[in-house]
Structure formats: structure tokens, C-alpha cells
Structure 1
Amino acid sequence: MSDLIMQAALSRRRLEAEQDITRQWMERSQNQEKAILELQKEVLFQKMIVAAVVAQRDFLRESPDHIEMSRNLTDEFKKDGTQKTFFRRLFERAFDKKGRELGVVNPETWRD
């Protein structure tokens, strides 16, 4: 009978060790999933920035007059109360448009 008890105790220790390993792997997997989601979010953000900068570049390439026009103030204001330039507004609209294309619900909340 004591052999059975010892075997049961050994089996229980092995099972507990395997359960600990399983818990550790599950935790590691969850942490990696979170990291992947953060990286995917960063990729979306970078794609939106690239689209906005490309829109600005293309605008400036269209005409030399656009350089001066890009500095003009608009009737829109930043959070700090200063007026936005045409160039800033162009950036924001291209950024938001790309965000919506990528499935971002409120891309404007991703910008400053």
C-alpha cells in the first residue's frame, strides 16, 4: 500500500509541475499577444503618418506657389489655441483618411 501512496504522491508532483509549466506558457503567450497587438497598432500609426507626409510632399511638388500657400493659416485651431496652417490641416486630413481606410474608428484620437 505504501508503494501506491508514494506513486500517487510522485504522480501528483509531476502533474503540479506540468500545470505550473502550462500556466507559465499561457502567461507568456498572453504577453506576446499583447506585444503583437501593440506592434500592429504602431504599424497602423506609421502607415497613417506616411500617408500624411506623402500628401504634403505631393502638394508641394504640384506648384512652387504651394509652398507659400502651405504656410497660410486656416480657421481651425490646435488644442493649444493656435491656428492651424494649411499644411497641418492637409496632414491631419490625409492621416485620418488613411486611418479610416485601415479600419481605425477614430483616427483623429491617434494624432496630437
Structure 2
Amino acid sequence: MKNNQNSKFERAKLKVANLKGFYNHLVVYIIINLTLIIFKEKIIFTLISKEAIGNPDFLHWINWNVFGTPIIWGIGLLVHAIVVFGSKPSFVKKWEHKQLEKYMRE
């Protein structure tokens, strides 16, 4: 019975660590991307040199980075959420179970 409680405690501890990691990821995502969007004009003004003024390619590049970053990073955040909150694929569950058995035998 004591072993079962330790196992439940370890699983709960791992779940909390995974949740904490996801929420930290979410907070950093929000802070960085809000900063990029809010200060977009300031970033453009700071980065534009005399050679780049009026260059539509440069301005397009900045727009892509300001708006592309949340999209691409958001996909990664979505995958992270699926891993933390969603169900794991069966091959991942089997692998984890085999690894647990392996380390318990040691």
C-alpha cells in the first residue's frame, strides 16, 4: 500500500511539473508577443537605417517577424498543451510503462 501511495505521489508530482512548465511557457509567449505587437512601430523606427528607409522588402520582413512569431510559436504552444492536457498516443504510454518497469527492476 505504501508503494502504491508513492507511485501516485510521483505521478501527481510529474503532472504538476508538466502543468507548471506549460503555464510558464504560456506566460512567456504572452509577454513576448504582446511586447512585439505593442512596440511594433518603435521597433521599426529603431531598426530602420537611412539605407532601409522606404524599402518595402525590409518592412515586409519586420511585419512577418512581428506577426509570424506568435503564429509559429503558437503552434508549438498548442502542441505543448496537447501533450500536457490531451491524451498521450498509445506508443508513448507503452514506452513510459516499459521505462517505469525497467527502472523499478533496477
TM-score, normalising length: structure 2: 0.43
* Greater C-alpha radius of gyration: 1
Higher relative contact order (CA 8 A, sep 6+): 2
TM (norm. structure 1) is 0.41
